[in-house]
Amino acid sequence: MRYRRPGLDVATHVILIIGALIFMLPVLLALMASTHTLPSLLSGGLALLPGSEGLDHYIQLLTQPAGGVAVPTWRLMLNSLIMALGIAVGKLTISIIAAYAIVFFRFRFRMLCFWLIFVTLMLPVEVRIVPTYGVVADLGLLNSYPGLILPLIASATATFLFRQFFLTLPPELLEAARLDGAGPWRFFRDILLPLSKTNMAALFVIMFIYGWNQYLWPLLAASDADYATLVMSLRRLTIAQDGVPPWQLATTMTVLALLPPVAVIVLMQRWFVKGLVDSEK
Amino acid sequence: MATFQRHRAFPWLLLLPQLAIVAIFFFWPAFQALRRSFYVQDAFGLGERFVGLSNYVAVLTSALWQQALVNTLLFSASVALGAMSIALLLATLADRVLRGAKGYRTLLIWPYAVAPAAAGVLWLFLFDPSLGIISRALGSLGIHWNQRLNGGQAMLLVIIASVWQQMSYNFIFFLAGLQSIPASLLESAAIDGAGPWRRFWTITFPLLSPTTFFLLVMNTIYAFFETFGTIDTTTGGGPNNATTTLVYKIYQDGIVGLDLGGSSAQSVILMVLVGLLTLIQFRYVERRVQYY
Amino acid sequence: MSTLTLERLNKTYGGNVQAVRGVDLDIADGELIVVVGPSGCGKSTLLRLIAGLEEISDGELCIDGQRVNDSEPAGRDIAMVFQNYALYPHMSVYDNMAYSLKNRRTPKEEIRRRVTETARLLAIDDLLERRPRQLSGGQRQRVAMGRAVVRQPKVFLFDEPLSNLDASLRVQMRQEIRRLQKRLGVTSVYVTHDQVEAMTLADRLVVMNGGRIEQIGTPMTLFNQPATRFVAGFIGSPAMNFIDLAHAEQTPWLPASTPGGALTAGIRPEHLQLVTAGSGDLPGRIEMVEPLGSESLVHVRLGEHDPLLVVRLSGDELPAAEQPTGVAINGPVHLFDSDGRRLP
Q: How many CB atoms lie within 10 A of CB B58?
A: 16
DSSP letter for C319, please.
P
Q: What is the mean pLDDT of residues C95-121?
A: 93
DSSP assignment of A219-241, as one string? HHH--SGGG--HHHHGGGGGS-B
Helix axes A6-33, B151-179, angle to 10 degrees: 130
Give the pLDDT confidence of B32-89 residue by residue, as tens digits: 888 888 888 776 666 778 888 888 988 888 899 999 999 999 999 999 999 999 999 9
Domain contains B10: no
Burial class of residue B206, CB neighbours in 10 A (0-12, 13-18, 19+): exposed
A276, containing H or E segment: helix A269-279
Bridge partners (DSSP) listed for residue C325: C284
**In this predicted structure, what is the pLDDT of residue C214?**
94
Domain contains A21: no
The count of structural domains within chain A is 1
Determine whether the interchain pair C55/B2 forms a contact, defined as Cβ–Cβ distance below 8 Å.
Answer: no
Dihedral pair phi/psi, residue C22, rounded to 5° = 50, 50
C296, containing H or E segment: strand C295-301
**In this predicted structure, what is the pLDDT of residue C132?**
93
A268 or A82, which is more confident: A82
Q: Is the pLDDT of residue C282 over 90?
A: no
Closest among B218, B94, B274, B202 to A281, alpha carbons compared: B218
The count of structural domains within chain B is 1
Type of residue at C76 = R
Q: Is the pLDDT of residue B172 over 70?
A: yes
pTM across the whole model: 0.85
Residue A65, classed as helix, strand or coil, is coil
Report d(CA C231, CA C199) in Å as an integer.
Answer: 13
CATH of the domain at A125: 1.10.3720.10
- Radius of gyration, CA atoms only, chain A: 24
Pairing verdict, β C155-159 and C187-192: parallel
Domain contains A1: no
- Please give the angle made by the CA atoms of C139, C142 and C145, to the nearest 5 degrees: 155
Report d(CA B264, CA B278) in Å as an integer.
Answer: 20
Distance from CA of A196 to the nearest CA of B (A): 17
Q: Are C19 and C211 in contact (CB under 8 A)?
A: yes
Domain contains A242: yes
Report d(CA C87, CA C66) in Å as an integer.
Answer: 30
Report d(CA C215, CA C11) in Å as an integer.
Answer: 19
Type of residue at C68 = V
DSSP assignment of C238-262, as one string? SPPEEEEES-GGG-TTS-TT---SS
For chain A, the average pLDDT equals: 86
Domain contains B38: no
Domain contains A99: yes
**In this predicted structure, what is the pLDDT of residue A47?**
66
Structural domain of residue A204, as residue ranges? 56-277
Confidence of residue A46 (pLDDT cuts 50, 70, 90): low
Q: Are B106 and B162 in contact (CB under 8 A)?
A: no
Give the pLDDT confidence of A257-273 residue by residue, as tens digits: 999 999 998 888 888 78
Domain contains A29: no
Q: How many CB atoms lie within 10 A of CB C184?
A: 14
**In this predicted structure, what is the pLDDT of residue C13?**
87
For chain C, the average pLDDT equals: 90
**In this predicted structure, what is the pLDDT of residue B288?**
46
Give the pLDDT confidence of C197-237 residue by residue, as tens digits: 999 999 999 999 999 999 999 999 999 999 999 999 999 88
Q: How many CB atoms lie within 10 A of CB B160?
A: 21
Q: Which residues of B111-147 are buried (b: 16+ CB within 10 A; e: fewer)?
A: bbbbbbbbbbbbbbbbbbbebbbbbbeeeeeeeebeb
Helix axes A6-33, B116-126, angle to 10 degrees: 90
Q: Is the pLDDT of residue A123 over 90?
A: no
Determine whether the interchain pair B25/A151 forms a contact, defined as Cβ–Cβ distance below 8 Å.
Answer: yes
**In this predicted structure, what is the pLDDT of residue A1?**
44
Domain contains A80: yes
Percent of residues, chain B, with pLDDT higher than 70:
93
Confidence of residue B120 (pLDDT cuts 50, 70, 90): very high
Set of chain A residues whose Cβ sits within 8 Å of the Cβ of B18: 94-95, 97-98, 117, 159
**In this predicted structure, what is the pLDDT of residue A280?**
54
Half-sphere exposure of B254 (CA within 13 A, CB side): 29
Report d(CA B194, CA B187) in Å as an integer.
Answer: 10
Domain contains B263: yes
Domain contains B6: no
Give the pLDDT confidence of B207-221 residue by residue, as tens digits: 888 888 888 888 988
Distance from CA of B20 to the nearest CA of C (A): 32
* Closest chain C residue to the Cα of A198, Cα to Cα: C90
**In this predicted structure, what is the pLDDT of residue B137?**
87
Report d(CA C93, CA C258) in Å as an integer.
Answer: 61
Q: Are A191 and A173 in contact (CB under 8 A)?
A: yes
Set of chain A residues whose Cβ sits within 8 Å of the Cβ of C52: 178
Give the pLDDT confidence of C284-305 residue by residue, as tens digits: 899 999 999 899 999 999 877 7
Closest Cβ–Cβ partner in C53, C90, C100 for A175: C53
Q: Is the pLDDT of residue B101 over 80?
A: no
Burial class of residue A83, CB neighbours in 10 A (0-12, 13-18, 19+): buried
Set of chain A residues whose Cβ sits within 8 Å of the Cβ of C83: 172
Q: Are B270 and A127 in contact (CB under 8 A)?
A: yes
Domain contains B1: no
CATH of the domain at B94: 1.10.3720.10
Domain contains B14: no
Determine whether the interchain pair A176/C80 forms a contact, defined as Cβ–Cβ distance below 8 Å.
Answer: yes
Determine whether the interchain pair C53/B2 forms a contact, defined as Cβ–Cβ distance below 8 Å.
Answer: yes
Q: What is the mean pLDDT of residues C317-332?
A: 88
Percent of residues, chain B, with pLDDT higher than 90:
32
State the ipTM, two decimals.
0.89
Domain contains A36: no
Structural domain of residue B68, as residue ranges? 53-291
Closest among B259, B264, B269 to B224, alpha carbons compared: B269
DSSP letter for A212, please.
H
Closest Cβ–Cβ partner in A172, A178, A195 for C74: A178
**In this predicted structure, what is the pLDDT of residue B291?**
31
Q: Is the pLDDT of residue A276 over 80?
A: no
**In this predicted structure, what is the pLDDT of residue C109?**
95
- Highest-pLDDT range among A52-66, A251-265, B1-15, B125-139: A251-265
**In this predicted structure, what is the pLDDT of residue C1?**
66
Set of chain C residues whose Cβ sits within 8 Å of the Cβ of B2: 53
Give the pLDDT confidence of B73-90 residue by residue, as tens digits: 999 999 999 999 999 999
Set of chain B residues whose Cβ sits within 8 Å of the Cβ of C53: 2
A26, containing H or E segment: helix A6-33
Domain contains B32: no
* Closest chain C residue to the Cα of A195, Cα to Cα: C90
Domain contains A140: yes
Determine whether the interchain pair A262/B114 forms a contact, defined as Cβ–Cβ distance below 8 Å.
Answer: yes
For chain A, give the number of residues. 281
